[in-house]
Structure 1
Amino acid sequence: MSLPTVSTTVSYPAGEVAGKSPVLAVPVLPDGRWAVVVADTPFHPLDHTWPDQPADTGTLTVAGRAYPVVDCRTGGVGPDGGFAVAGDIPVRRGDESWAWLVLHVVDPVDGVDPDSLVGAEAVLAVDPDRRAGLSAAHTACHLLAFALNEALADRWRKEVRTDALGRPDFDSLAMDTSRIAEWASRDDYRIGKSLRKKGFGSEGLADELAAVEQRANATLARWVATGAEVRVEVPDAALTARRVWHCALPEGDAHIPCGGSHAHSLAELASVVVALELSEDGTELTARTAVTPAERTPNNPAA
């Protein structure tokens, strides 16, 4: 079977949830499921290097038969033609000697040869409700990063890297893991020796945590009320292109490199609320962010 030597192009950064594209290959995964590869897709795959946003699901229809897309993963084809999936890819994401592919994972169908799909046109449809929940949560997760940086800004005793709004970038410097869910996210931060050496003062944080949470939530509420525009800067359509999330906040253009999908504006969110929790030893801070969707109206049909 011949695998593509050109990376998949993607339309999800613009918010697309539907498309048509020719099937280029259908490799069979070790678990027996099929990985349908097309030239262009609206599906967002799980990023194997920073798996914060889960994969899109939906359907892929070829020759009148609908195949449920139960997972969407990242694959790669090396210069020697070798095929690898997700964590088995031996090079850094975006290595220009590799072709980077979106793998639409479907269950095998008895009596259908996966190679028979190659060359046919696929009609691709992402689950729009799941996408909306994940996109809103990802946008809110970035808002939380800036709000938390602001709420903790007075705890830094040394100059460190700042975020796009000019505040010490606690989110980036302390980040351990980030996970997006539908209308919610969880971010875990490490407040250990390394962060303290950089100048972060963790003394008394447990006693002040409620005040920090309140300050962050007040900032989030103020920002959401603006209904500010959200956009994704896209240099090109390749899967591994370096994209940047932007939000036009009152304090300026907040931006963060990001490969996920997002809301088009904060008007799609009714509220964003964070709950903070500090571990007993004070070395781990967890931020759980919950998003309430805005009500759909004729003036706000995208909500």
Structure 2
Amino acid sequence: MVVSVLPTASTLVSFPAGETAGRSRVLSIAALPDGRYGVITEATPFHPLDHTWPDQPADIGVLRLAGADAAASASASASAELAVVDCLTGAVGPEDPSTLLLGADIPVRRGEEGWAWLVVHAVEASDGQAEALREAVGTEAELRVDAERRAALSAAHTGCHLFALALNSALAPRWRKDPGRTDALGSPDFDSLALDTSRMDTDASTDVYRLGKSLRKKGFTAEGLAEDLPAITEEINSRLATWIEADSPVRIEVPGPELTARRRWTCELPEGPAGIPCGGTHLHHLGQLAGLRTELTLSADNSRLTAVTSPKRA
């Protein structure tokens, strides 16, 4: 149920630049199905869970209703600061602008023309706090992300991309023919061709690859992979260590501030500039890592390769 009118323009986001705090006008409040409330602001530093590729968890933090300290009652002042316990991707379609769709209920891909794409800050609120939220529409709020957790997730996400490039390089000799897709450094792009799931947490990233018939038809040789896995792992970890030592700058290229903007992770590695499409958050330079190592395991039937890549922050 929407408590106030929904926006018709997409949320402006500052997390691609690494921002973890900001102020913005509250545009709408929605009662969420699980009993929480969704706060929608004009702009936000919060990174929401992507509804199509949920690899990086949502930011959490604090939302403070600006000006509440000057409220008439002490209870209103006490209710001013709310914990943001989740952050969701929401969408409003052109056919029903009064309905807020969330996550898996969104029937189109992000950026679909005519849709408004929204960052929905999920907060738990008592009756008194819910009333304060309703009255906050049109006023300014302060938004603060849990910066330590964000930094850990950013390290895991940057490490995930570096691992993907190193994996592609290490597996390049296993391609019998050109698969038709290469990565930014010129290696056959095993990562994008075989990736099944990718998930980050504050300690590591976990990537699972399918080694099925379709990959073999594209030219990948999986025979003997189990025997070669220790050497492949060592080659990848050696390359990761070299890249970390180079302390290359990391950037997110973004054409605009809207949540719908197509963002791209870029890094100036010793082999050359690398780029991967990405909607997550990242470090600013590789020197923010003291180390990065991966562990590869193969399923018993040789059908899945799992990589757990753990960053050590400097």
Bucket of the pairwise TM-score, normalised by the shorter protein:
over 0.9
TM-score under structure 2 normalisation? Answer: 0.92
| Residue in structure 2 matched with residue 56 of structure 1 by the alignment | 59
Structure 1 Cα separation of the partners of residues 252 and 110 of structure 2? 20
Structure 1 Cα separation of the partners of residues 286 and 203 of structure 2? 13
Pairing partner for 2:142 from 118, 123, 127: 123
- 2:30 partner SS: coil
- The CA deviation at 1:32 is 1.4
Structure 2 Cα separation of the partners of residues 115 and 182 of structure 1? 34
Whether 2:115 is the aligned partner of 1:98: answer yes
Structure 2 Cα separation of the partners of residues 228 and 195 of structure 1? 32
Whether 2:82 is the aligned partner of 1:67: answer yes
Structure 1 Cα separation of the partners of residues 136 and 38 of structure 2? 11
Paired residues in the alignment total 294
- 1:3 partner SS: coil
| Residue in structure 2 matched with residue 271 of structure 1 by the alignment | 291
| Residue in structure 2 matched with residue 6 of structure 1 by the alignment | 9
Q: CA RMSD in A?
A: 0.8
Whether 2:165 is the aligned partner of 1:146: answer yes
| Residue in structure 2 matched with residue 85 of structure 1 by the alignment | 102
Pairing partner for 1:203 from 216, 223, 230: 223
- The CA deviation at 1:223 is 0.5
Letter of the 1:99 partner, please give it. Answer: A
Alignment of 1:231-246 (within 5 A): 231-246=251-266
| Residue in structure 2 matched with residue 162 of structure 1 by the alignment | 182
| Residue in structure 2 matched with residue 109 of structure 1 by the alignment | 126
- The CA deviation at 1:108 is 1.6
Structure 2 Cα separation of the partners of residues 124 and 93 of structure 1? 24
Structure 2 Cα separation of the partners of residues 6 and 220 of structure 1? 41
- The CA deviation at 1:142 is 0.1
Unaligned runs of 5+ in 1: 295-303
Pairing partner for 1:27 from 15, 26, 30: 30
Q: Render the CA deviation track for 1:161-189: whole Å, top value 9, x for unaligned.
A: 10000000000000000001113100000
Letter of the 2:40 partner, please give it. Answer: V
- 2:128 partner SS: coil
Percent identity of paired positions between Structure 1 and Structure 2: 60
- 1:182 partner SS: coil
Structure 2 Cα separation of the partners of residues 135 and 180 of structure 1? 9
Structure 1 Cα separation of the partners of residues 113 and 23 of structure 2? 26
Q: Render the CA deviation track for 1:256-294: whole Å, top value 9, x for unaligned.
A: 000000000001000000000000111100000011001
Unaligned runs of 5+ in 2: 70-79
- The CA deviation at 1:212 is 0.5
TM-score under structure 1 normalisation? Answer: 0.96
| Residue in structure 1 matched with residue 311 of structure 2 by the alignment | 291
- The CA deviation at 1:17 is 0.2
Q: Render the CA deviation track for 1:196-247: whole Å, top value 9, x for unaligned.
A: 0000000100001000000000000000100000000010000011000000
Structure 1 Cα separation of the partners of residues 142 and 205 of structure 2? 31
Structure 2 Cα separation of the partners of residues 106 and 173 of structure 1? 38
Pairing partner for 1:213 from 225, 233, 248: 233
